[in-house]
Each structure stands twice: as structure tokens, then as C-alpha cells.
Amino acid sequence: HTEDELSRSSHGNPGKSLVNGIKTNPASNSPKSSLPVPMGPPVYVDLAYIPNHCSGKNTDPEFFKRVRASYYVVSGNDAANGEPSRAVLDALLEGKSQWGENLQVTLIPTHDTEVTREWYQQTHEKQQELNIMVLASSSTVVMQDESFPACKIEF
């Protein structure tokens, strides 16, 4: 379908809208709704930021099956809100195990959290099997009165 065809097909259905070219009912849209995901080839990118601070609200194994990155950035640092989510980190393992190719993947956590440390230790063997490397930052950025760990990424 072209964009014009998709646009026209939604005009005859008031109360319906298009999400990724699929007719939906706006009242039923929720982050974890069971909308069908359009099939297509995976997308290969150099760098992907795991959505929503690596919260389990929006990211599942399907994300990692479809968005294949050389580098994934994990920025969550709020344990009270489940960020980063252990389920999302496990989803990376599950999604990558279905790639069918052993491309190198680097996970870049922007914060050293208990969740990422435990996940790293408990799944280290699986990470090696899947060719996943987790960067630990030994660099520090100092800005005015603040300092924080940082990673340098080179392509």
C-alpha cells in the first residue's frame, strides 16, 4: 500500500486511526496492546538507544529481533521504576539468539546498577555464546561541579 492508499482507507472509518499502516481503535491503544506488528526484514543500525530508559514497558524480544544494532545503549538508573529492566536485558539475549548470524553486539550501560551487574554475572556465558560484549566504563567526564562515568564509541 502507498501512503495515499493507507490514508484513504482510514477516512471511511471514523474513530479508527492508522498505526504503522494498521487500522486501530484509539481507545484500545496501550503500550502493551496486542496490535499485530507488520512483518518485514530486520533493520540493521550501528547504534540503538533502548527505549524508555530500558524499561520493560515498551521493549521486548521482538524489538531485538527487528532492530539489530552493533551497539545498544542502556541508560536506566531508577530501580524504583524498574529501570533498567532485567526483563529487557534478558530480551536482548532471547532476541539475538534468533538472529541466525553471529554478529558482534556491544551493550553500553550508562550507569553501573545492581540490575546490570547481576545480569552480567548471571548470563555471562550466554553473552559470550551470542557474541555480546558489555562495556564497563573506566572513563570519567568532569563538568563544573559534576563528574560521571562515560563511554567513548568509535565507528
In a domain, 100, yes or no: yes
Angstrom distance (rounded) from CA 135 to CA 143: 22
The pTM assigned to this predicted structure is 0.65
Domain with 115, as residue range(s), is 43-149
Write the pLDDT tens digit of every residue in 66-101. 999 999 988 877 767 666 888 999 999 999 999 988
In a domain, 34, yes or no: no
82 Cβ contact partners less than 8 Å away, ≥ 6 residues apart: 55, 56
- Confidence at residue 5, expressed as pLDDT on a 0 to 100 scale: 46
Q: Residue 13's pLDDT band (boundaries 50, 70, 90)?
A: very low
- Confidence at residue 58, expressed as pLDDT on a 0 to 100 scale: 75
Angstrom distance (rounded) from CA 48 to CA 107: 10
In a domain, 24, yes or no: no
Q: How many CA atoms lie within 13 A of 112 on its CB side?
A: 10
Place of cell 553501573: 112
Place of cell 527505549: 51
Instruction: Tally the domains of the chain.
Output: 1
Mean model confidence pLDDT for the chain: 75
